[in-house]
Amino acid sequence: DAGVTQSPTHLIKTRGQHVTLRCSPISGHKSVSWYQQVLGQGPQFIFQYYEKEERGRGNFPDRFSARQFPNYSSELNVNALLLGDSALYLCASSLTADQPQHFGDGTRLSIL
Amino acid sequence: AQRVTQPEKLLSVFKGAPVELKCNYSYSGSPELFWYVQYSRQRLQLLLRHISRESIKGFTADLNKGETSFHLKKPFAQEEDSAMYYCALGNSGNTPLVFGKGTRLSVIA
């Protein structure tokens, strides 16, 4: 079992750019959630997708968007990057939207 | 507003001593509470949920709605319990929405 895989592991961008982060869930898992973890803080919920539909959205600006593909993988997109977007972005998958989540290692995004 | 407070950034205890990691929450509805753990060089993983009312690796946690607390307890700490512990709050199912800042537990031999 490869677990939840995220790519890339590290990424450096500059202010104003956009970024796409990718997540492959555990095989058979149909729900994917995204979290932002700023240094020194706990993770904060951004989105949850289940069966390609948005199930929940956290308190993040519209610059953040996501989607889930037919193979249940997911992308998180962030536009007009700000310095404050520097964080570890975690993806978690679960069998359904109501089952326990399994986390990936995250993508560390640095904004210069 | 939803909020989770873990007042201790670091907690050090001796092996065999009791452990209590504190968690207080603020939520207007019916909360779902979780404890997550991250061991060194491992991924964040679910330790236990309040609705399961189970003991995992000797840890238990009871939801106290009057005190809005969900403290994590273990009667006898072991060295392998050393890790980062996060308390989290959700509103339904198994999706945590807000995490606390975490408490690093260090068990000293």
Rounded-to-integer distance, Cα A56 and Cα A48, Å: 5
Tell me the shortest Cα–Cα distance from A7 to chain B, in angstroms.
15
> What residues have CB less than 8 Å from B65, skipping those under 6 apart?
none
* pLDDT (0 to 100) of residue B90: 87
The reply to whether residue B93 touches residue A97, judged by beta carbons under 8 angstroms, is yes
Q: How many CB pairs under 8 A join A and B?
A: 53
Rounded-to-integer distance, Cα B49 and Cα B18, Å: 21
State mean pLDDT over A35-59.
Answer: 93
The reply to whether residue B46 touches residue A45, judged by beta carbons under 8 angstroms, is no
The reply to whether residue A44 touches residue B93, judged by beta carbons under 8 angstroms, is no
Question: What tens digit of pLDDT does each residue of A61-79 get?
Answer: 999 999 999 999 999 999 9
* pLDDT range class, residue B54, cuts 50, 70, 90: confident
Question: What tens digit of pLDDT does each residue of A27-38 get?
Answer: 999 999 999 999
- As a whole number, the mean pLDDT across chain A is 95
B94 closest CB neighbour out of A42, A99, A104: A99
State mean pLDDT over A28-49.
Answer: 95
